[in-house]
Structure 1
């Protein structure tokens, strides 16, 4: 048989609720089930609620902002990796060998890496740049947007000319313009 709800249970639920404890935290603190805590909370006028949607939304927004910041930092680090790899492509490089029957060490410097090493560096730089751009895509160039607006305007004018005159606009005669002194 279930233990009856006491005034001490009610008082304790009210105190812990005022401390902004969750239903499950209150249940653990008073040694009751979460459903009993909900029943007790519903007996008050007005009933106590455990609606934490606003707190959850705030916490979620904060977490997303933190992840955005971390993603941006990671994109910067990947950009640094790409730049470092690209800078190595034209730098003097030391190649070494260790081995042979006498276990000798041999070292030589070349003015720049071998083509195979350069391909590897390029692949590493490309992968780092690709990941960086996926983490933080570049903002669209405002000039590009302006150029596309101008392009759309020119295309619209050409369509309008075709609709009015039944054919494309004539090509400008630059030689004639030069003869006319323009």
Structure 2
């Protein structure tokens, strides 16, 4: 069934890339507000996050706000086939890394115990099933770490069906501009 994933991913990325810049900006601000409705996020001292690219839900304001609140914010760097999260105190500590994504410089300290992680997604299901970019980095990381997971997604990309593959790690919370979805994965 997972052979359908590349076709679905391509279709949904095209759909997401077709969203207007204004919509993405307004929706991202509302998603940032809705994120604060999750107690685990409000109380989190150490947060793993991602630096948004392209048409992803914008995370730069979220990162900036967490840094200004004095929280530890860690962003991913690709090392071999794994993600390593490193603490950053400002955007000057980033450089263009693999896949053209901004990532922490090598001198940023590694953090491996987080309260929560904000996970990127191409699309999500209300059950917590996530469609990522197909490289498996986040699923491999999440399979080794027990951590509260939150995906930020536009409501238009919360879909009915995503094929499940071995190794997929479900997400506990999905935050859109319209709602906060507590998935069946929340214990």
Q: TM-score range by the shorter chain?
A: under 0.3
Q: Which has the higher helix share?
A: 1
Q: TM-score, normalised by structure 2?
A: 0.16
Q: Higher Cα Rg: structure 1 or 2?
A: 1
**Which structure is higher in RCO with an 8 Å CA cutoff and minimum separation 6?**
2
